[in-house]
Amino acid sequence: MSDPLGSQIREALFAAPARPDEPEPQPESGEAPADLPDDLRIDLYRWMRLTRTLDNTMVDMWKQGRGLGGTFSGRGHEGISVPMAMALGPDDVIAPMHRDVGSYLVRGMTPARVFGNLLGRVTGPSEGRDANLHGMGDLSLGIIGYVSHIPQQIPITLGMAMSFRYRGEPRVALTACGDGGTTTGPYHESLNMAALYSAPMVLVVQNNQYAYSTPLDQQMATFAITERAAAYGLTARTEDGNDVEAMFRSIKAAVDRARSGGGPTVIEARTMRMLGHAIHDGAEYVPRELLERWEARDPVDHQRRRLLSEGVSGEAGLAEIDAWARAEINAAVAEAEAAPFPDPGTVSDRIYA
Amino acid sequence: MRELTYIAAISEAISHEMERDPDVLVLGEDVGGDFGGAFKVTKGLAARFGDRRVLNTPLAEQSFIGMANGMALMGLRPIVEVQFADFISTGFDSIVQSAATIHYRFGGKVPWVIRAPSDGGIRSGPFHSQNPEAWFVHTPGLKVVAPSNPADAKGLLCSAVRDPNPVIYFEAKPLYRSLRGPVPDGEHLVPIGEAKVVRPGTDLTVVAYGSQVSQALAAATDLAADRIEAEVVDLRSLKPLDFETVAKSVSRTSRALVVHSANRLAGVGAEVSARISEECFEWLDAPVTRLGGLDVPVPFSPPLEDAYRPDAHKIAAAARRLAAY
C-alpha cells in the first residue's frame, strides 16, 4: 500500500535531532482525496462540527460554573475521533478514550446523553456512576466505557478482538490511547500479544505531544512510536491526525485488513492537544507559538476549507451544518440540565450483574 | 461416591464446563499444549478441546487479564490461570479498576474466573505462598471464593464459570494432592455466597476457609478428646459473605474463633470478627479471637514458616483459651 504521507512524516521525524525542543507539526499532505465520495467527506465535516460545538459548549459551561467536577476537552482531536468511528461497521466495537467525544456521537450516542453523563444525571450512559467522559459505555452501540488507568482499553480491545477470532465472526475492535499510553507496560504487552495472535484490532495512538504537562521528549528517548509498534510484528503507520480524510482512509484500510484476517494495525496520528489536560489546567507549560502553529492547521477548519476549495460543498451548505450543530447542542444541554439526578436509594444497585 | 484429589476435582470442573458451554475457554501462562500448566491442572485439555480453547499467553498478567475482560464483555467465559496467586498483583489494575467496575459504571458483564493457586505451608517462600484474597474482598464488584475440599472445589468452580460477574477462585495448593474426598459425578454446583457448617458443635464456633478448614477439623477432633465440642463453619465464599450462617452458629455457641492463612492484619477475619462483635454482641460470652498469618512476608525456612502460619495445634490452643474464658 502506498504511504506517501507516512513516509514524509517519518522522514521529518528521523531528520530531527534525538531530543528536539519541541515536536514539529507535519506539513499538509496536498494530495487529492479522490477516493472518498462527496457525501462522506461532508459527513466527516458534519460530525467534526458537532463534536467541536459540543466541546466548545462544554468548556464554556464549565468556565461559567455550570459544570460538575472536571472534564476533558478533545479540541484538536476531532480529525481522529470522528473517523475512528466512521471507519467501523455496525457490528464492530470501539473503546474510545476521554478526548473522543466524536466517536461516541458517530456511534449513535446522543449529545443529550453525553451531557447527561457530564452533569451526573440519570440520563447519562453511566446513570451518574462514572465521571465526565469516563464510563460512557453502551454495548448496544458497541461502545466500551473508558477507565482512567491508561491504557486499560488496549488489552480490553485485544480481548474483544480475540472473541471475534474465537467465534469466527468478521468483526473488528478499535481503540485509542495517547502518546502517554505508549510508555506503559500493558501497551507493549498488548501489542506483542495482538501481533502474536493476529487479533483483528486497530489501535490509534493519538500523539498529542503532551502527557498532562510532560512533553514527548521527556517521555521517550526516541519518538519512534510507529517503528516500535512495527517491531512487534504489527502493521504500523504514521498519519497527520489533523487531516480527517487521511485519517479516515488509513483507519478504514486498517479495519478492512483486520476484518479480512490481515491482523492488527497501529496508526500513530500526530496532532496537538489544544487545551489543557483537563478543564482546570491552563497548560501554561505549552509554548504559545506551538499552539498557534497547530491552530492554523485546525482539523475542523481544514476540512471546511478543503470542501469549499474543491467545490464539494458551498458556503451555504456548510453554514447549514454549523447551524444544525449549534441547535443540536443547545437542545442537548437544555435536556440534560432538566434531567433528574439519580435516586440515592439506587447507590448500591447494579454492583453485580 | 468415588473420591478425587482436590486438584483432580478442579480439572474435572474445568473440563465439565468446557464440555457444557463452547464459550468457556482457558488462558494463562503454560496452560496449553501437552504441558498443561505449572501444576498440571489443565493437562489434557488442549488435546481434548483444541488449542483455540486452551490459550497459552506470554508473561503479561496485566494484559492477559485485561484481554479476558474484553473477551468476557463480548460474552465469552474465560477461565484465567495466574500461575501462582502471588502473581495476581501484576494484573491488579485489570481486575480491581477495570473488571470490577464495568457493570456498575455502564452495565457491561464480565463473566470470567481467575484461578489463583494460593496458600503456603509447602516451603515455597515469599512469592509462591501468598493469600491475597483480602485485596479483592475489599474491592466492590468482585466475587471471591475459596474451597476447602474436593467437592466444593468442583462445585464452586462450576458455579463461578456460570456466574455473570468476575469471580476470583482461590484454590489452596497445599490441598492439591494431600486431600482426597467424595466428588459427585457430572453436574455439581455449590452456590456462591453460602457458608456451610462442616462439623456441628456446642462450645465454640471456628470460622475458617480454604486449607485452614482441614486444620480446624483436626483441631476439633483434638478438642473433643477434652470434651470441647467445636462447631466448624466453612465460609466457602468470602464475597458475598454468608454472615447469616456464621451468626446462627455463634448465637448457639457464644464463642467465636476466626482463622485464615492470610495475614491477620486487616484480613478477611477482621471483617468477620467485626461483624460478629457488631451483630452478635448480645450472644457473646467471650471476645472474638482471630488467628492468621503474621505481618511479615511468607518466610521460606520451615521453622519460620511454621511460626508464620496457623495450624491445627495453634487452633486447638486458641480454642482451649476461648472455651475457658
The answer to whether position A75 is within a domain reads yes
pLDDT of A18 reads 37
Chain B CB contacts of A185 below 8 Å = 62
Chain A CB contacts of B71 below 8 Å = 159-160, 162-163, 166
User: With contact defined as beta carbons under 8 Å apart, do B161 and B24 qualify?
Assistant: yes
The answer to whether position A186 is within a domain reads yes
Query: Per DSSP, which regions of chain B are E strands?
Result: 3-5, 24-28, 54-56, 77-81, 113-118, 143-145, 167-172, 180-182, 196-199, 204-208, 230-234, 237-239, 256-263, 289-293
> Of the candidates B63, B65, B71, which has its C-beta nearest A163's C-beta?
B71
pLDDT, tens digit (0-9, with 9 covering 90-100), for A70-79 = 999 999 999 9
Chain B CB contacts of A125 below 8 Å = 106
Name the phi and psi angles at B8, rounded to 5: -65, -30
Clarify whether residues B164 and B227 are in a common domain. no
User: With contact defined as beta carbons under 8 Å apart, do B173 and B134 qualify?
Assistant: no
The answer to whether position B237 is within a domain reads yes
pLDDT of A10 reads 46
Clarify whether residues B135 and B16 are in a common domain. yes
Query: Terminal CA-to-CA distance of chain B, rounded, Å?
Result: 42
Q: B103 vs A136: CB contact, 8 Å cut-off?
A: no
Q: Which of B159, B182, B205 is the last residue before a domain boundary? A: B182
Clarify whether residues B177 and B52 are in a common domain. yes
Scanning A139-243, the segments in alpha helix (DSSP H) are 153-167, 185-197, 225-231
Three cell numbers written together for B269? 477475619
Q: What is the mean pLDDT of chain B?
A: 98
Is residue A35 very low, low, confident or very high in pLDDT (cuts 50, 70, 90)? confident
Mutate to test the interface with B, among A136, A148, A189, A203 (most CBs of B within 10 A): A189
The answer to whether position B34 is within a domain reads yes
Percent of chain B with pLDDT over 70: 100
The answer to whether position B189 is within a domain reads no
The answer to whether position B30 is within a domain reads yes
pLDDT, tens digit (0-9, with 9 covering 90-100), for A317-348 = 999 999 999 999 999 999 999 999 999 999 99
Q: A189 vs B65: CB contact, 8 Å cut-off?
A: no
Q: A137 vs B105: CB contact, 8 Å cut-off?
A: yes
> Of the candidates B64, B75, B106, which has its C-beta nearest A126's C-beta?
B106
Q: B66 vs A186: CB contact, 8 Å cut-off?
A: yes
Long-range CB pairs of A306-310, under 8 A, 24+ apart, other chains included: A306/A41, A306/A245, A307/A41, A307/A42, A307/A45, A310/A32
DSSP secondary structure string for all residues of A7-74: HHHHHHHHHS-SS-SSPPPPPP-----TTS-HHHHHHHHHHHHHHHHHHHHHHHHHHTT-S-S-----
The answer to whether position B188 is within a domain reads no
* Distance of alpha carbon A9 from alpha carbon B325, whole angstroms: 79
Clarify whether residues B173 and B204 are in a common domain. no
- Domain residues for the domain of B15 are 3-182
Residues of B serving a catalytic function are: 128
pLDDT of A8 reads 54
Q: The domain that contains A86 carries what CATH number?
A: 3.40.50.970
* Distance of alpha carbon A230 from alpha carbon B71, whole angstroms: 25
A73: contact with B, CB 8 A cutoff: no
Percent of chain A with pLDDT over 90: 90
Chain centroid offset of residue B306 CA: 21
How far is CA B248 from each of CA A338, B228, B260, rounded to the nearest angstrom? Answer: 49, 19, 20
Q: B102 vs A185: CB contact, 8 Å cut-off?
A: no
> Of the candidates B66, B93, B106, which has its C-beta nearest A130's C-beta?
B106
Model confidence, pTM: 0.94
User: With contact defined as beta carbons under 8 Å apart, do B165 and B141 qualify?
Assistant: yes
Query: Could you give the number of structural domains in chain B?
Result: 2
Window 333-352 of A: residues touching B by CB (8 A cutoff) are 350-352
- Domain residues for the domain of A192 are 35-335
pLDDT, tens digit (0-9, with 9 covering 90-100), for A275-323 = 999 999 999 999 999 999 999 999 999 999 999 999 999 999 999 999 9
Q: The domain that contains B208 carries what CATH number?
A: 3.40.50.920
- Ranges of residues in chain B with a pLDDT under 50 are none
Query: Could you give the number of structural domains in chain A?
Result: 1
Any residues with CB less than 8 A from the CB of A205 and at least 6 apart, and which?
A: A176, A177, A178, A179, A181, A182, A225, A229, A266, A267, A268, A269
Count of CB pairs separated by less than 8 Å, A with B: 135
pLDDT of B28 reads 98
Sheet containing A173-178, strands listed edge to edge, beginning at the edge strand earlier in sequence: A93-95, A173-178, A201-207, A265-270, A235-240
Q: What is the ipTM of this complex?
A: 0.97
Clarify whether residues B116 and B259 are in a common domain. no
Sheet containing B143-145, strands listed edge to edge, beginning at the edge strand earlier in sequence: B54-56, B24-28, B77-81, B113-118, B167-172, B143-145, B237-239
Clarify whether residues B96 and B215 are in a common domain. no
A123: contact with B, CB 8 A cutoff: no
Clarify whether residues B35 and B98 are in a common domain. yes
Three cell numbers written together for B16? 465439565
Q: Which of B156, B182, B208 is the last residue before a domain boundary? A: B182
